[in-house]
């Protein structure tokens, strides 16, 4: 069991679920949150917040840890450009994984996206796929990539496109193959947190249909 876990992207929809579940897990002793700025979370003696500069990750004071759960991600619209999007979803994710590996982590879990493919003609999917390929080469004993479909849950930030899609899926979700059905942020977080106690060696990818099994 990973007793000390670092979390990147803790302030997002899945990230907050991950933090709550880690704090409730008796097998986890400490939860280090790597953040741009301090945030409000449910009080817990396990939580330690670290404010870091993601543009200077090579100089960031990274704590020793057994595992990294990375929920970091943005959208091209929010980032403002494809280059800015790539900086977050490829550079920051990869560099965070590198720092965690150097800090002793043997287990890495990353929230990617449905359709991730390094050969994709779709920019968003291609960057996600390139990120997956990059972190697979960093020397972790266990790498778990989760690829959720549309995420259901209460976001702090509102994404109009996702909200519209989820409203449509409320009425037609059951008509879609499991892989394309919406999945709750709670289930995505549960899939990763539960797996910390028995990580699979090597590189593993779970699509949305697998994530839906975790309630």
72-119 per-position pLDDT tens digit: 999 999 999 999 999 999 999 999 999 999 999 999 999 999 999 999
CA-to-CA distance for 199 and 211, rounded, in angstroms? Answer: 15
- Predicted confidence band at 152 (pLDDT cuts at 50, 70, 90)? confident
Q: Residue 123 belongs to a domain with what CATH number? A: 3.40.50.720
Residue 206 phi/psi, 5-degree rounding, is -115, 125
Domain count, the chain: 1
Catalytic residue among 87, 124, 178, 180: 124
Q: Is the pLDDT of residue 162 over 80?
A: no
Catalytic residue among 46, 77, 102, 128: 128
Q: Is the pLDDT of residue 37 over 80?
A: yes
Residue span of the structural domain in which 198 resides: 4-211
Q: Tell me, yes or no, if 124 is annotated catalytic.
A: yes
Q: What is the pTM of this model?
A: 0.89
């Amino acid at each position: 069991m990973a007793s000390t876990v670092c979390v990147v992207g803790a302030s997002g929809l899945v990230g907050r679920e991950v933090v709550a579940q880690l704090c409730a897990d008796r097998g986890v002793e400490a939860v280090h949150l790597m953040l741009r700025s301090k945030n409000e979370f449910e009080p817990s003696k396990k939580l330690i917040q670290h404010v870091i500069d993601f543009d200077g990750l090579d100089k960031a004071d990274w704590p020793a840890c057994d595992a990294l759960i990375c929920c970091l991600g943005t959208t091209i619209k929010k980032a403002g450009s494809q280059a800015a999007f790539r900086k977050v979803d490829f550079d920051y994710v990869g560099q965070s994984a590198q720092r965690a590996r150097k800090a002793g982590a043997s287990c890495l879990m990353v929230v990617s996206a449905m359709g991730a493919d390094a050969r994709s003609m779709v920019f968003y999917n291609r960057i996600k796929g390139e990120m997956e390929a990059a972190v697979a080469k960093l020397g972790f004993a266990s790498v778990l990539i989760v690829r959720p479909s549309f995420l259901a849950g209460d976001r702090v930030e509102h994404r109009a496109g996702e909200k519209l899609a989820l409203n449509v899926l409320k009425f037609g979700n059951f008509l879609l193959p499991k892989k394309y059905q919406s999945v709750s942020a709670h289930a995505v977080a549960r899939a990763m947190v539960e797996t910390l106690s028995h990580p699979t060696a090597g590189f593993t990818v779970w699509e949305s249909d697998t994530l839906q099994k975790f309630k």
